[in-house]
Amino acid sequence: MRFKRFKIVLTTLLVCVFFMNASWAQQPSCSAALTSISADSLLQHLQELVGKKPIYIKDSAQFIPSRFAFHPGNALAAEYISQKCVSYGYAVRNMQYSQTGQNVIAEKRGTQFPNKSVVLCAHYDCVGSSHAKFQGADDNASGCAALLEAARVLKDINFPYTIQLAFWDEEEMGLVGSKNFPSSGGGLPEIITVINLDMIAWDGNQDSLAMIHVTPSLPQSIAYATRIQEVLKQHNLALQPFVKNPGEPNTDHQTFWNRDIPAIGLTEDYDNDFNPHWHRFSDSIENLHIPYFINMSKLAIMGLCELAQDALTQLPEPKTASYYAIYPNPAEHQICFNSSQKIVYVSIYNALGKLVFEQNLLATQDDCIAQSLPEGLYFVRLLGLNQSTIQEKIWIKP
């Protein structure tokens, strides 16, 4: 009897654990993570990165004297970042690509699509000299602090997609770190999109403008910018989004645009409120706008959290649905489109919302794709060059 009861209890427990895991995997709570983002913690990362507070490497207290590429403090900063991400439970790659250059990549594998990833990145080096101790507080300790806070508050959430937190070296030398990062191969998951943070703590005119950089050559980057604006609204963040199209090229999202990866940049206002302390000794923690920095960090972390949950499946509602037709329905091996706008991307989801087919294409009138999916109900989604999307239910029969 005891044994039998034990078995029933054990089975019930296992079933509960299974369902709890399944629901966690499907619905990580970004809202809960948002409430864990702490101003104190963000400031702590910032003060450690600029050498105002000690870091502890092998239990000995040290200060990061500078993050300038050719200063020994640069490698110490990489060690600090790496150690912090390991302490949060991430798998960390220290990717040394030259005598002086090292990227640090913290990764958490996805539960459903481990080979596809969403990247949040920032460069950790700063301008300076071998002698002067530049803080590089806004450029770009601010972005790195947001990444470290992302690592902390997202550590217990399981996402369908892999997340990569990438800290680049030598951006100030010409995007050298990001250019030396292979986008795939060597066990690296494929990159779906990238959110690059470069200077997120200056708001001199107090207009709370959040600049989102996109490129017209990759319409999906515009779709991701739209998604980030939705995330901003959804979580009631006190920021005013502004999509800069075409976006500023001289920072790490450009590296990914060059590889046809639809990255976006999230920054302070580069156009009408440029930080006067930029690349100067005065780019110090005293000259930052902390409430704005906290909001920008929240947007970046929520952006990563939401995209790692649903990636491409939550594109905006159709804008110009009448432009498209998807046929026939039921469909067999071919699914065709008729459109007055160019279609740049086709994706198909099964009834559970799982992505089962995707293809980039440039289709106009009466183009078809070939597929060999098993019989069932699917959602076919088209992304138009003008950013519009349409989704239709299609029955596929073999």
CB 254, min distance to Zn ion, A: 12
Closer CB to Zn ion, residue 198 or residue 306?
198
Closer CB to Zn ion, residue 140 or residue 226?
140
CB 301, min distance to Zn ion, A: 19
Spatial neighbors of 329 by CB under 8 A, at least 6 apart, are 392, 393, 394, 395
Closer CB to Zn ion, residue 202 or residue 345?
202
CB 124, min distance to Zn ion, A: 10
Closer CB to Zn ion, residue 107 or residue 252?
252
Closer CB to Zn ion, residue 107 or residue 198?
198
Closer CB to Zn ion, residue 168 or residue 345?
168
CB 138, min distance to Zn ion, A: 8
Binding site for Zn ion (CB under 5 A): 139-140, 198
Closer CB to Zn ion, residue 142 or residue 371?
142
CB 125, min distance to Zn ion, A: 9
CB 199, min distance to Zn ion, A: 6
CB 73, min distance to Zn ion, A: 17
